């Protein structure tokens, strides 16, 4: 039976005030996600740090099927507020990555990574409802000029991840996240019987026609 093993890195006691809430929040999210799709067992490592998403006060990273890193900043007001279950949504996003790692993988090409990010974003919505994240709602006038470039670079493994997803160089911040989210939205509109939870093992190429 897949299970989650939580590791709180708390030598300095900064996580102590959240010692009950964090495990409860993350365990409940894992159990909910596990009901929706097959999940691998995961080690979840939680630490404090300042390198977090400015809008959220936390950051998630899933580098392989059985491992999720979570960084939280207890001094960040957004983390403490946890508006709209932001931490749970982030963890659901990372759990979809973990499931995809256990199947086709997160991806090495621009197209594969965009699909993985788009599916993970939709999975958070599938679990918790609400609105897409800010990085999934880039304005159309900022997105549209780059769709041809996305199509042309779909199979590239040497794409600039920071440029496409975080807005370094000449690309808008969050371009890759919104493009991937919209790609999956278009796929789901054409296949309404599907969900992000049922598509975790679907190859990225199946989505390319929906750019």
Kind of pairing between the strands at 67-72 and 58-64: antiparallel
pLDDT at 200: 97
Fold of 4-101: Zincin-like (3.30.2010)
pLDDT tens track for 75-123: 999 999 999 999 999 999 999 999 999 999 999 999 999 999 999 999 9
Q: Are 7 and 43 in contact (CB under 8 A)?
A: yes
pLDDT at 91: 98
How far CA 196 is from CA of 72, 108, 127, 184, in Å, comes to: 26, 20, 10, 8
**Beta carbons within 8 Å of 75's beta carbon, 6+ residues apart:** none
- The structural domains of the chain, with segments of one domain joined by +, span 4-101, 110-210
pLDDT at 29: 98
pLDDT tens track for 13-57: 999 999 999 999 999 999 999 999 999 999 999 999 999 999 999
Q: Tokens 């911040």 sit at which residue?
A: 173
pLDDT tens track for 167-184: 888 899 999 999 999 999
pLDDT at 169: 80
């Amino acid at each position: 039976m897949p299970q989650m093993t939580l590791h709180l890195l708390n030598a300095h006691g900064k996580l102590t005030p959240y010692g009950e809430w964090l495990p409860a929040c993350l365990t409940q999210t894992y159990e909910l996600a596990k009901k929706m799709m097959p999940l691998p067992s995961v080690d979840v490592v939680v630490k404090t740090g300042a390198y977090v998403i400015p809008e959220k006060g936390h950051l998630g990273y899933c580098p392989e099927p059985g491992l999720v890193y979570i960084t939280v900043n207890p001094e960040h007001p957004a983390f403490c507020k946890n508006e709209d279950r932001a931490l749970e949504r982030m963890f659901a996003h990372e759990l979809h990555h973990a499931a995809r790692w256990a199947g086709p993988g997160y991806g090495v090409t621009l197209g594969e990574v965009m699909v993985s990010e788009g599916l993970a974003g939709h999975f958070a919505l599938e679990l918790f409802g609400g609105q897409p994240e800010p990085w999934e709602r880039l304005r159309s006038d900022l997105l549209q000029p780059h769709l041809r470039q996305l199509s042309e670079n779909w199979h590239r493994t040497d794409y600039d991840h920071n440029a496409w997803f975080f807005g370094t160089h000449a690309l808008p911040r969050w371009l890759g996240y919104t493009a991937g989210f919209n790609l999956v939205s278009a796929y789901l509109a054409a296949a309404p019987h599907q969900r992000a939870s049922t598509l975790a093992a679907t190859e990225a190429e199946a989505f390319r026609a929906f750019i």
